[in-house]
Structure 1
């Protein structure tokens, strides 16, 4: 076996399949694009769905990649097992309707065993196959030469995710020897595919040959596919002969850096510390890559996952004696390990560190609050002679403060208590159910549309230079789900040999317009244009008169719509560049929509955008418009485009030849959309709104040209109306008048509050004079006429100062609503009376509910007629 680094192994895999005619697909962002079924990219095939379901036909049906991935469904096992990771790389080779088992199996064997490649010992390799897949078994035995004793039939070897592609698979296992086994050699699970540590699965080859239909049937796919996955970390652990993934060169530098930060702890000394080292190393990789791809910590979705991972790492740092912020210091270590294939980590190091350190500091504050809450809970439970921390309290500590339940259990154990683990797990399952119900119920991959996939006719887009094309030959017509020679009146889909109609892409909406006879007679309206699987522009049309295949038509784009859309598209480029200048280079596009009447631009940003920053962005964009910058486009190879400084848009994939749009020297972007010839055509740019739409993602909506003028006119009209309402002569005086009114209002409110305080004092006169004895305590329980809860609280403060009784219960009516206040003295609390408990007893009588601290509680209700009963119930509560 060769001695290789992880970087060498990754590159060797890609080089091997490149030698077999595969195109190397770059690793995509961890944040899925246009896929509501995934929180993260979780496999190599996840970014290639469009090829496998037939939505897009790839230029080359042979693809290979090393795809960064995140899975967090088994996060609790990370660090405790040899293989569980949240972040990992999946090496894969894929065939989209090209080669199948007869090539995929021998190639896998060649890469693993050939002296030119990994040179693994063939005697140490075994495979599993699906029992009914006799062809795969035959190839392994007869073509590869694997002994039948090394081929195991396993019923579970069938890949199926519901509707869509499915099929048998074959897994390859490496025998690490009995020394690595956690089971006796004769244990029933000690075999390739069993639950053991000896036989390590290194590769899974899926033979995607069926479509799983909604009715449950499996039918053969028109185009059979190969989808393989080999975890880089596992493969490296085999080749570097390490006990687990964590002793490889992918993790050890992170662990060694953590050792230096810890209080004299060392990896390999005891299992407890090792778990913490492993968790930190894994989570450091995950959060570094996730933040680098635009995810930010938050309380929902992938942001919640990030927050949880950072908090788990911090807590495990504390177990190693690390009291200061430290996780951010591991970012450059991760970057250096992965630099050969992911240079962007070191490029974005400062921003990634800033986000992590901010979250660490925030969590340390939260952690202190959580410890205080836990200590208070333990004290309260002990006071009630309880020895078990309820599951819902443990879950709150976990969910709100990031406390692992194991940490709560440790605290409890120190106090001679336990945790209701059944109750905790019930809360966890309820949370998982809520998360599942909130996810999209769409299947993760659709079935292939053979009709569209088989249309191979060429189609040229001519719309960059012209809006009319009189040489468009109608090549294909789809109507009522079938290819036809003639389109009858009604809806149809058509493909022409050439077309000026832009197909929706990159956020820019499709062109509309007409299909005409060459004499100018309109025979159909174009209502939408999309990309067919083989890349042609496929037009959705409303047919007025029959259309015929092989006839030549005059295609005419609606000029006004195209013009407006093109202007707004250019505005998104200007906006993107301006945001980078004002907010920083870490900001990047996270989606856009370019309509005729407005544009929408989503972008990542750590924190809010201030009004001053927005104004600066708007100013920069307008300056480029007024500078009348020329707009040009060239086609070149991708490397030349990058050297020109062109920006690649978020989530987009690019071929060997790319189109670069330049706006003077201000902006260069990879772009396939349409634009005017000069920025002056935009006239004016105006931001109409800015808001947050998710964790670390902001949205700007804006208008240009006529729409910007109309927007400003509307704002001016509103300002004029406001001036009239405020009775000022000029709109310039509106701010001054508004400030004056605010000051007058504040003075009036203060005066009202003073009068209310006097009324409350008058209403309170004498109410503290006749406390009643109820059992061993004194009670004042009365209805008073005051303005609301603020006044009741003021009376409560007066009562406390006067020590007028042991318990106070006050009620007041505000319109049709009731406010209740209960207060308890130290003497009452020592006697077992808590204000929160008492108010929960009496609030239902006024049709409401409430709660509070042992010394003070409040409630609201909707039944004023129940006040007398509530006051009586308070006395009865004390009497008991």
Structure 2
């Protein structure tokens, strides 16, 4: 066995399968594109399942990749076990209807055992198989030459996720030797496939050969596929002979950097702190890569996962005596480890560090609040003498404040309390079920259909040069059947040539008509989509007989098409302007180019100011007025990248690409349609800007006719305002509005003075009514003031005049109750606190509140309870 680095293992895997005729697909973003079934890309197959279900036919049926992935369903085990990670790399090779079991098994064996590749000793390899998979057993036994004691039959070796492709699998295990034998020789788990540390699973080969149908039956797939997965971290731990994944070169540089930051704790000293090192090293990898791929911390979805990982890592940092933001300092180390294959972290290092540091600082501001809540829980349980922290309370600390369960347990035990693990697990399972239910309506992988994949006719797009052409009808499809003619209803058709653009890259499809040889319209084109093999599939409404093999005239709706291309070119201008104003770290996250508007989604950490929007709009319009030429060329992908062409979000590019160049100012890879000069756009207007998710924002804009209409509507609104203000010209609206605003502010000041005067007059009467509770003097009264601010003004007067020991005031405002309590310094020394008093009386008005020992306030939605609250204040002081 060779001594290899993780980077060498990854590259060796890809080189091996490239030598076997596989196309190497780059690792996709951790954030899924057009896949609502996944929160994260969680496996190598997740990025190629479009090939498995037949919705897209790959250029090469043999594919291999190294895919970064995230799974968080077992986050509690990260750091505790040798193998659990949130982010990991899956090495995979896939066959889409090409080779099957024989080749897949031989490829795996050659890669693992050949001296030209990994070079494992074959005697240390074991395999598991599905008991009914006689073919796999035969290949392992007769062709590979494994003895029966190295082949283990396991009933669970059948890959099935419900409806969709499924089939038996075979797993490959490495015998790590006697030193890892943590079980007795006669332990029933002491075998390849059992729960032990000696036999480590390193590769799983799935033979996808059945469709699992919704009625729970299985039928053979039209096209049998291979899906394999080998965890890089696992195989590297075997090659580098480390006890866990964390001692490999994928994690140790991060752990060593954590040691430098901690200064007080070293890795390997004791199990408890080793867990914290591992958790931090694991979580910072996931954070750095996810943020580099466009995800940002928030309170929901992917952002919630990131916030939870960050807070969990920071809490473990405290166990290592790190009491300040530090995770951001590890980003560069993560980037350097992975840079040979994943340059994105170092390319966006400054941005990733900024996001993590900002989130850490925010967490440290709130962590004291979480500790205070835990202190309150302990005090409450102590008073109730239960000596047990409930599962729901533990979950709240864990879920809301990021407190690890073990930290809650440690603090509780130090105070002599137990923790309700069972209740906590019940809450966790309920959360997992909510997450599963949120995605259960979406099918993870579609049933494989052979109908569209059978289409083998040619279809050429000619819409770059013409919007009307004569073309032969090559294929007709109606009611999921191939037919020779149709005369009504809806159908799908493919022509040998078409000027109709298929929806792609955010640009909507063209519409138009199909005309027969007599000049009559025989169908309208409602939509155009790409078939699995790339043909242009027109969805049509049939008006008159259409026959396969006949020639027709295809005519695109020119007005609609021209409006679309104006918006598409404007989208490119906006993309470039956005980067100039906000910075290069803002990347496109989706777009829609329609005839009446354009929509541009992008990643951005923070808010967008009105000035920034105005600057973007100004830049785009300046480029329009400069009448810049818009040129397109077709070239290879490497040349395009050397030109500085930007790739659009979610697009998959082949070797040959189309580059749209706007006077060398904006250069993008794009297969869409565009104007010939920016002046054709006319004018550009941003309608709105908003946040649509964690770290993702959206700009809606219009051009040309729609932009004119937008300006005209705004002009009409100003004209209405001028009419209301009785002004002769709309140019006077702003000055008049400012004048009225000043008058309003002056009147508000006068009202404030009047209200204060009335409050002072009330104070004279209220402060005379002093009551007693034991040896305490207090005032409890309802007053007629407008808000809490005036209650505080009365409390200030009470304090200055030293009228009584305690003050309780209430008022009704806008259908709600406001309460205020104040306590003199001498009375506080006796143990009476305003915060305690407000908590006692606030429930009477169906509210809550808090504050300092000397002053506290509360709000409630039941003003009818004010009198009861004032009475309760007296009873509380008596007690």
CA contact (8 A) 1:29 1:651 kept: no
- Establish whether residue 142 from structure 1 lines up as the match of residue 135 from structure 2: no
1:128 corresponds in structure 2 to 128
Greater displacement, 179-188 / 361-370: 361-370
* Equivalent position of 2:742 in the other structure: 743
Structure 1 position 110, deviation (Å): 1.3
CA contact (8 A) 1:52 1:96 kept: yes
2:284 counterpart of 1:284: yes
The 2-side partners of 1:457 and 1:562 are apart by: 26
Match of 2:597 in 1: 598
Residue 511 of structure 1: aligned partner: 510
Q: Could you say what secondary structure the match of 2:342 adopts?
A: coil
What residue in structure 2 maps to residue 706 of structure 1? Answer: 705
> For residue 45 of structure 1, what is the aligned residue in structure 2?
45
Match of 2:180?
A: 180
> CA, structure 1 residues 58+407, in 2 after alignment: closer, same or farther (shift >3 Å)?
same
After superposition, give the CA deviation of every residue in 1:239-267 in whole Å (9 maximum; x if it has no partner).
Answer: 11111111111112222222222214322
Q: Which residue of 2 aligns with 1:839?
A: 841
Q: Give the SS at the match of 2:400.
A: helix
CA distance in 1, matches of 2:560, 2:423: 60
Within 2, Cα distance between the matches of 1:394 and 1:38?
Answer: 28
Are residues 790 and 433 of structure 1, via their aligned partners in 2, closer, same or farther at CA, if it must alter by over 3 Å?
A: farther
Cα separation, 2, equivalents of 1:867 and 1:291: 50
* Cα deviation digits, residues 792-825 of structure 1 (max 9, x gap): 4544555555565666555545576555556677
- Say yes or no: does 1:364 pair with 2:364: yes
Report if the CA contact (8 A) 1:806-1:827 is conserved. no
Cα distance in 1 for partners of 2:251, 2:766 equals: 72
Alpha-carbon distance, 1:581 to partner: 1.5
Distance 2:329 2:529 in 1: 47
Question: What secondary structure does 1:582 align onto?
Answer: helix
The reply on whether 1:20 has 2:20 as its aligned counterpart is yes
Deviates more, 1:377-386 or 1:715-724: 377-386
Query: How far 1:876 moved relative to its partner?
Result: 6.2
Aligned equivalents of 2:797, 2:381: Cα separation in 1: 32
Q: 1:541 to 1:756 in 2, by over 3 A?
A: same
Whole-angstrom distance in 2 between the partners of 1:34 and 1:797 = 60
Distance in 1 between the 2:244 and 2:734 partners?
68
Alpha-carbon spacing, 1:840–1:579, altered in 2? closer, same or farther (3 Å) = same
Pairwise CA distance, 1:442: 0.2
Match of 1:293 in 2: 293
Partner-residue secondary structure (3-state), 1:766: helix
Q: Which residue of 1 aligns with 2:231?
A: 231
CA drift of 1:18 comes to: 1.2
CA distance in structure 1 between the aligned counterparts of 2:763 and 2:435, rounded to whole angstroms: 51
Report the Cα distance in structure 1 between the residues aligned to 2:360 and 2:867, rounded to whole angstroms.
53
Structure 2 CA distance, aligned partners of 1:437 and 1:776? 60
Query: Which residue does the alignment assign to 1:583?
Result: 582
Q: 1:350 to 1:149 in 2, by over 3 A?
A: same
SS at match of 2:451: helix
How many Å apart are 1:875 and its aligned residue? 5.5
1:839–1:859 CA contact under 8 A, matched in 2: no
SS at match of 1:92: strand
Other-structure match for 2:621? 622
SS of residue in 2 equivalent to 1:453: helix
* Counterpart position of 1:321: 321
- Please identify, of 331-340 and 370-379, the stretch whose mean Cα deviation from structure 2 is larger: 370-379
After superposition, the Cα gap between the structure-2 partners of 1:254 and 1:820, relative to the gap in structure 1 and judged at 3 Å, is: closer
Give the stretch that moved more between structures: 626-635 or 391-400. Answer: 391-400
In 2, the alpha carbon distance for the partners of 1:152 and 1:764 equals 88
Q: Which residue of 1 aligns with 2:644?
A: 645
Whole-angstrom distance in 2 between the partners of 1:209 and 1:776: 87
What secondary structure is seen at the aligned counterpart in 1 of 2:48?
helix
Q: Deviations over 1:382-441 (max 9, x none)?
A: 577674444444434333332212223333333344444444444434443443444462
Instruction: Call closer, same or farther: CA 1:801–1:138 in 2, change over 3 Å.
Output: farther
Checking the alignment, whether the CA contact within 8 Å between 1:18 and 1:24 is kept in structure 2 is yes
Alpha-carbon distance between aligned partners in 2 of 1:668 and 1:64, rounded to the nearest angstrom: 30
732-741 vs 564-573, greater mean Cα deviation = 732-741
Secondary structure of the residue aligned to 2:131 is coil
Deviation for aligned residue 1:510: 0.4
Q: Deviation of residue 731 (structure 1)?
A: 3.5
Partner of 1:255: 255
Q: C-alpha distance in 1, partners of 2:589/2:543? A: 40
Answer yes or no: is the 8 Å Cα contact 2:823–2:832 preserved in 1: no
The alpha carbon displacement at 1:632 in A equals 1.7
2:10 equivalent in structure 1:
10
> CA–CA distance in 1 between the matches of 2:424 and 2:753?
50
The within-5 A match list for 1:434-513 is 434-439=434-439, 441-470=441-470, 472-513=471-512
Shift of 1:736: 3.2
Residues 770, 780 of structure 1: 8 Å contact kept: yes
How many matched pairs? 874
8 Å CA contact 2:842, 2:860 repeated in 1:
no
Partner of 1:683: 682
Quote the Cα distance in structure 1 between the aligned partners of 2:224 and 2:781. 81
Please name the residue that 2:669 is paired with: 670
Q: Report if aligned partners of 2:42, 2:69 keep a CA contact under 8 Å in 1.
A: yes
Tell whether the 8 Å contact from 2:494 to 2:537 is kept in structure 1 after alignment. Answer: yes
Q: List aligned pairs for 1:849-860, cutoff 5 A.
A: 849-853=847-851, 856-860=856-860
Q: Which moved more, 1:154-163 or 1:20-29?
A: 154-163
Residue 784 of structure 1: how far off its partner (Å): 3.8
Equivalent residue, structure 2, for 1:552: 551
Which range moves more in the overlay, 711-720 or 3-12?
A: 711-720
Q: Aligned partners of 1:851, 1:346: CA distance in 2, in Å?
A: 47
Partners of 1:268 and 1:103 lie apart in 2 by 43
**Using a 3 Å threshold, how does the CA distance of structure 1 residues 359 and 869 change in structure 2: closer, same or farther?**
closer
- Give 1:37 shift: 1.2
TM-score, L = length of structure 1: 0.94
Give the direction of change, closer, same or farther, for the CA distance of 1:815–1:83 in structure 2 (3 Å limit).
closer
1:22 positional shift: 0.9
CA shift, 1:93, in A, is 0.5
Superposed displacement of residue 647, structure 1: 1.1
What displacement does 1:512 show? 0.4
Range moving further from structure 2, 870-879 or 107-116: 870-879
How far 1:87 sits from its partner (Å)?
A: 1.0
Q: CA shift at 1:841, angstroms?
A: 4.7
Q: Which has the higher mean CA deviation after the structures are superposed, 399-408 or 640-649?
A: 399-408
Where does residue 154 of structure 2 map in the other structure? 154
**Residues 831/426 of structure 1: CA separation in 2 closer, same or farther (3 Å cut):** farther
Secondary structure in 1 aligned to 2:238? Answer: helix
Q: Which residue of 2 aligns with 1:78?
A: 78
Once the two structures are TM-superposed, the CA of residue 867 in structure 1 deviates from its matched residue by 5.5
**Partners of 2:829 and 2:868 in 1: how far apart?**
22
Whether 1:405 and 2:405 are equivalent positions in the alignment is: yes
Distance 1:606-1:770 versus aligned 2 partners, 3 A rule: closer
- CA distance in 1 between partners of 2:359 and 2:811 (Å): 45
Q: Secondary structure at the match of 2:56?
A: coil
Q: Which moved more, 1:605-614 or 1:238-247?
A: 605-614
- What residue in structure 1 maps to residue 784 of structure 2? 785
- Check 1:278–1:790 CA distance in 2 against 1; reply closer, same or farther (3 A cut): same
Instruction: Report how far residue 138 of structure 1 moved.
Output: 1.6
Contact 1:178 / 1:185 at 8 angstroms: preserved in 2? no
Native 8 Å contact 1:772 1:778 kept in 2: yes
How far residue 236 of structure 1 moved from its aligned partner, in angstroms, is 0.7
Q: SS in structure 2 opposite 1:443?
A: coil
State the secondary structure of the residue aligned to 1:450: coil
Residue 312 of structure 2 aligns to a residue whose secondary structure is helix
Deviation at 1:235, TM superposition (A): 0.7
TM-score when scaled to structure 2?
0.94
Q: Is the 8 A contact 1:823 1:835 kept in 2?
A: no
Structure 2 vs 1, CA of residues 6 and 583 (structure 1 numbering), >3 Å: closer, same or farther? same
CA RMSD of aligned residues (A): 2.5
| Aligned mates of 1:429, 1:879 — CA distance in 2 | 47
Match for residue 330 of structure 2? 330
1:813-845 deviations in whole A, cap 9, x for unaligned? 5576555556677569947993344325522xx
For residue 77 of structure 1, report the CA deviation from its aligned partner: 1.3
Q: Secondary structure at the match of 1:335?
A: helix
